[in-house]
Amino acid sequence: MTIRTIHIFVMLSALSAFVLPARAVTYTASLIHPAGYPTSGSYGVDGNTYVGTLQTPGDYYYHAWLSTGTPGSVVDLHPAGAWESHAYAVSGSSEVGHATFLNSGSAYVAHAVLWHGTAAGFVDLHPDGYSQSYANDVSGNLQVGYGDTEFYHLTQGLLWNGTAGSVVNLTPANFDESAAYGIDGNAQVGRVSKINPIGPEHPHAALWNGTAASFVDLHTSAFTDSSASAVGEGYQGGWVMKASTGNRYHAALWKGSAGSFVDLHPAAYSQSGVSDICDGHAVGTVDTAAVYPDTLAAVWTLTGGAASFVNLHSYLTGLGTTFQQSTADSISSDGVIVGTAISNSGGYYAVKWTPNYMPGDLNHDDKVDTRDYITWRKGAGTKYGDADYTAWRTHLGQPGSGSAISLSSSVPEPTSGLLLACCIAWSSLVRLHHRQR
């Protein structure tokens, strides 16, 4: 081990001494169901913007909608001439989903759709050569989804850059079908499969970086089936099915390779899956039983494994009705989660869960430690100010989960906190160097 390697190792060890046990974050649930509409669901969130589907009063058709969560902020995104529409994701000023239109054969077919805040500004992403298409996610100027080919009706994963003509087919060589469900930057995820004429298809979770040739197979021989539906912060999320678990779905997490797989499934539930990743967390659902299950909204931390599971459904109280089922479909960069809550009487309501992060937990990892100070330093003067530092300093080392932690009452000023850790590391290095001599 070189002196440089020892220096880095000891310095990181010194910094890790400040890391404290995680505290389970709690949530406050609230309905974002628009008044006057029979039902609603929210499938995407970015900042304070929500998208989803609602039923219109009177005719009960499904319309894509956009909202900032305040009364009167609902925008009906339904395109002119469409029969029904749905919005699944939002990024900045762009929203995606699909709308059904009447074709020349007098049949309603789905077209992938891109909006920019209004129904009038919709872009029909439906490419030539496909009978139907769907847009599932958006990141910046890029959109992903899938289409059914006009011949043989094969499903193909698709990537767009704002127009129908920009479409890229993501189906890799040696596979017959694919679908893309999630995108973050230039990374896309979904599934691929081969046509099996004598038995069921077995999909493989897939990762791409903009082209079919960039395909990474996240599937291993330990799985019967697998699929990826979420990507963010270097992670991919979805589900796997294994013969050893009775071929039931388990929430899955990867980090760029098949060998990085982590099983997020909580043992008390029959099935689980991941639908989105952001803010250091993965969200999705769990099923309560193998027969006639109730589906419940769920959240995990990306580094906490199955043990970090939190049942979001348990926070659906005091909202004027009793809810039997729920889903968590999307999470924003500030940790707000959106989904749908289903009442005992069968009503559907768009809902959000707002995290109650500890004061000073600036990186939202459910604890207050020196990593939050580093986050503060990086954003000081722009995203964070003196009040954020004061909150971090006040709550540094605050115990969570009932644990008692004793820390010195003297907290370093912003300019000296890391210096102290470095001094400890350097002192340890000097002593070690002298012993080696």
Percent residues over pLDDT 70 in the chain: 85
Q: What angle do CA 358, 359, 363 make, to 5 degrees?
A: 75
Percent residues over pLDDT 90 in the chain: 68
Question: How confident is residue 60, by pLDDT bands cut at 50, 70 and 90?
Answer: confident
pLDDT beyond 90 at 125: yes
Q: Which of 65-69, 75-79, 229-233 has the lowest mean pLDDT?
A: 65-69
Question: How confident is residue 414, by pLDDT bands cut at 50, 70 and 90?
Answer: very low
Higher pLDDT, 408 or 69: 69
Mean pLDDT score, 217-241? 97
Please report, to the nearest 10 degrees, the dihedral formed by the alpha carbons of residues 88, 91, 94, 96 taken in order.
Answer: -20
At residue 399, the pLDDT reads 57
User: Can you read off the two tokens belonging to residue 326?
Assistant: 């729920």
pLDDT tens, residue by residue, 162-171: 999 999 999 9
pLDDT beyond 90 at 381: no
At residue 5, the pLDDT reads 33
At residue 23, the pLDDT reads 57
How many Cβ atoms sit within 10 Å of the Cβ of residue 103?
12
Domains of the chain with bracketed CATH: 1-25+367-437 (no CATH), 27-366 (2.130.10.150)
Mean pLDDT score, 321-344? 97
Helix axes 370-379, 417-436, angle to 10 degrees: 120
Question: How confident is residue 223, by pLDDT bands cut at 50, 70 and 90?
Answer: very high
Report pTM. Answer: 0.84
pLDDT beyond 50 at 428: no
pLDDT beyond 80 at 52: yes
Smallest Cα–Cα separation from 235: which of 264, 214, 212? 264
At residue 435, the pLDDT reads 32
pLDDT tens, residue by residue, 343-370: 999 999 999 999 998 888 878 777 888 8
For all residues of the chain together, what is the average pLDDT?
A: 85
Question: How confident is residue 413, by pLDDT bands cut at 50, 70 and 90?
Answer: very low
Q: Which of 19-28, 74-83, 300-309 has the lowest mean pLDDT?
A: 19-28
At residue 247, the pLDDT reads 85
The answer to whether residues 364 and 279 touch, using CB atoms and an 8 Å cutoff, is yes
